[in-house]
Amino acid sequence: MKDETPARAKSPEPQPEPLLDTSRDSDEPAFSWLTPGRGSSAASGSSAASGSSAAPASGAPAPSTADGSATPTATADGSPASSGTAGTKGAGSAGAEATSRVPEGTGRPETRADRKAAEAAADPDGDGSSPVFREPLATSALQVRPPEEEVERRNAQRESAANAKPVAPRVMQVLLAVFFPVTLLILAVRAVTSPLFLWVEYNRPGFPGDGYGFSTDDRMTYGSYAVDYLSNWSGPRYLGDLVHRGGDKLFKDGEVSHMADVKLVILSTFGAGVLLLLLGLIAVLYLRKRSTGGVRRGLFAGSIVTLVLILGLGTLAFLGWQQFFTEFHRIFFADGTWTFSMDDTLIRLFPGQFWIDAGMVIAALVLLTALLTLILTWPTRRRRGLVKDEPVPAAGQE
């Protein structure tokens, strides 16, 4: 009778366990070589341990027992060893060999700890007699002092650079001091060449009248044409086409030609004044950013120059006005082009007293502005940034 019991499912055959040979494993923790300095320390320790149990040098006396016989020592593998003194020496040599390991192809130890150990093993006395590798310090170059001559030269250059003042601010101060009086003079001339000054002159008491028939209104009307011509861009016909009530020309050709020369001088002077004013503003802005007190010093020097200049010119004009007026015209105009007869329109509109008053007004405007600038820029202790010394309290006072 057949056995009808269902056959059991065949179980898989067990796999053989892998052979783990631990005879060659060391006691060093896993992955200790990843930690800096651990590998060398472990290697040094293991080498020292193996050296301490290594066979001592032959010929050294072995330790004896109580009965005087030598006690043999054995190493880890069971072989006899010599005395402990030789074992210690062997351990030191083995430790030195272990700590002085170097990577293949290089002449230096791997880590700083290995190098220190190699130095200590190669030079046990510490007197530096053994030629060993010594790593230079990172700050060794800072400890080298240059020669005394080089030190003195560097100190002199440093003091010179500290005491030297920048050139650009000083140049700007000089330019500001030079531009200031010229700009003031041009502005004063512009104030005189205006219809307002004409009205004040023609209507002030004591101004000489015209002996040829011009009334104050005629002078104001014709004089305004002449003054306007000096500051506009019209041609000579602006004055050449003017006529009297009777139909005659108001200005002769010589007068129109002279007024054209005056216009050229006036426009050139005004253009130079605008340019100097712009340059002065640039100098002021530069000195405000780059030099503390530079604007004040430049304006102070400029006001002094202005006072000296205006006082000198005023003295010359006071001592001889006619000579001063003649020399002034010779500077800008050719001889024979600026002299006219007493009945010419220019002389009737602008007599000698007019030019004296104009010179006085120009000098007064420049003088007052220069004095005001001098007072405002006077180098007081506060403006120079100097703090007034406080009085020292007497003994016993707080």
For residue 230, is it within any domain?
yes
Q: How many independent structural domains does the chain possess?
A: 2
pLDDT higher at 366 or 90: 366
**47 has a pLDDT exceeding 70:** no
Predicted confidence at residue 353, as pLDDT, reads 93
pLDDT higher at 195 or 165: 195
* pLDDT bucket at 148, cuts 50 / 70 / 90: confident
Same domain, 134 and 188: no
Same domain, 177 and 295: yes
- In this prediction, residues 181-199 reach a mean pLDDT of 94
**76 has a pLDDT exceeding 70:** no
pLDDT digits (tens, 9 = 90+) for 2-25: 444 444 545 556 666 656 666 665
pLDDT digits (tens, 9 = 90+) for 20-40: 666 665 565 555 555 555 444
Predicted confidence at residue 85, as pLDDT, reads 42
Predicted confidence at residue 216, as pLDDT, reads 93
Provide the CB-side half-sphere exposure for 320 (13 A, CA).
5
CA distance 64 to 106: 47
- Which of the listed residues 100, 124, 140 is the one where a domain comes to its end? 140
Same domain, 129 and 211: no
- In this prediction, residues 166-176 reach a mean pLDDT of 89
Nearest-CA neighbor of 191 among 203, 346, 183?
Answer: 183
Structure tokens at 250: 């108001």
Same domain, 347 and 228: yes
pLDDT exceeding 90 applies to what percent of the chain? 46
pLDDT higher at 286 or 392: 286
- In this prediction, residues 199-215 reach a mean pLDDT of 92
For residue 387, is it within any domain?
no
**350 has a pLDDT exceeding 90:** yes
Question: What residues does 70 pair with on adjacent strands?
Answer: 64
Predicted confidence at residue 275, as pLDDT, reads 95
CA–CA distances in Å: residue 347 to residues 17, 109, 212? 137, 109, 11
**79 has a pLDDT exceeding 80:** no
Nearest-CA neighbor of 114 among 99, 132, 135?
Answer: 99
Predicted confidence at residue 66, as pLDDT, reads 41
For residue 328, is it within any domain?
yes
Domain that holds residue 91: 39-53+78-140
* pLDDT bucket at 139, cuts 50 / 70 / 90: low
Same domain, 111 and 223: no
Predicted confidence at residue 18, as pLDDT, reads 58
**387 has a pLDDT exceeding 60:** no
Structure tokens at 205: 């008491």
For residue 32, is it within any domain?
no
* pLDDT bucket at 204, cuts 50 / 70 / 90: very high
**88 has a pLDDT exceeding 50:** no
For residue 92, is it within any domain?
yes
pLDDT digits (tens, 9 = 90+) for 113-132: 777 777 777 666 655 555 55
Same domain, 178 and 130: no
**134 has a pLDDT exceeding 80:** no
pLDDT higher at 76 or 204: 204
Burial of 48-73, coded b for 16+ CB within 10 Å and e otherwise, reads bebbbbbbbeeeeebeeeeeeeeeeb
Same domain, 214 and 314: yes
CA distance 83 to 64: 10
For residue 93, is it within any domain?
yes
Same domain, 102 and 215: no
Same domain, 244 and 297: yes
| Secondary structure in 3-state letters for the chain | CCCCCCCCCCCCCCCCCCCCCCCCCCCCCCCHHHCCCHHHHHHHHHHHHHHHCCCCCCCCCCCECCCCCECCEECCCCCEECCHHHHHHHHHHHHHHHHCCCCCCCCCCCCHHHHHHHHHHHCCCCCCCCCCCCCCCCCHHHHCCCCHHHHHHHHHHHHHHHHCCCHHHHHHHHHHHHHHHHHHHHHHHHHHCCHHHHHHHHHCCCCCCCCCCCCHHHHHHHHHHHHHHHHCCCCCHHHHCCECCCCCECCCHHHHHHHHHHHHHHHHHHHHHHHHHHHHHHHHHHHHHHCCCHHHHHHHHHHHHHHHHHHHHHHHHHHCHHHHHHHHHHHHCCCCCCCCCCCCHHHHHCCHHHHHHHHHHHHHHHHHHHHHHHHHCCCCCCCCCCCCCCCCCCCCCC
**209 has a pLDDT exceeding 80:** yes
Same domain, 340 and 212: yes
**163 has a pLDDT exceeding 60:** yes
- In this prediction, residues 368-391 reach a mean pLDDT of 78
Predicted confidence at residue 142, as pLDDT, reads 57
CA distance 212 to 215: 9
**175 has a pLDDT exceeding 90:** yes
Q: Which residues contact 110 (CB under 8 A, 6 or more apart)?
A: 40, 101, 102, 103
Predicted confidence at residue 167, as pLDDT, reads 85
- In this prediction, residues 174-191 reach a mean pLDDT of 94
For residue 393, is it within any domain?
no
For residue 269, is it within any domain?
yes
Same domain, 298 and 207: yes
pLDDT higher at 28 or 297: 297
Same domain, 179 and 246: yes
Report the chain's mean pLDDT, rounded to a whole number. Answer: 75
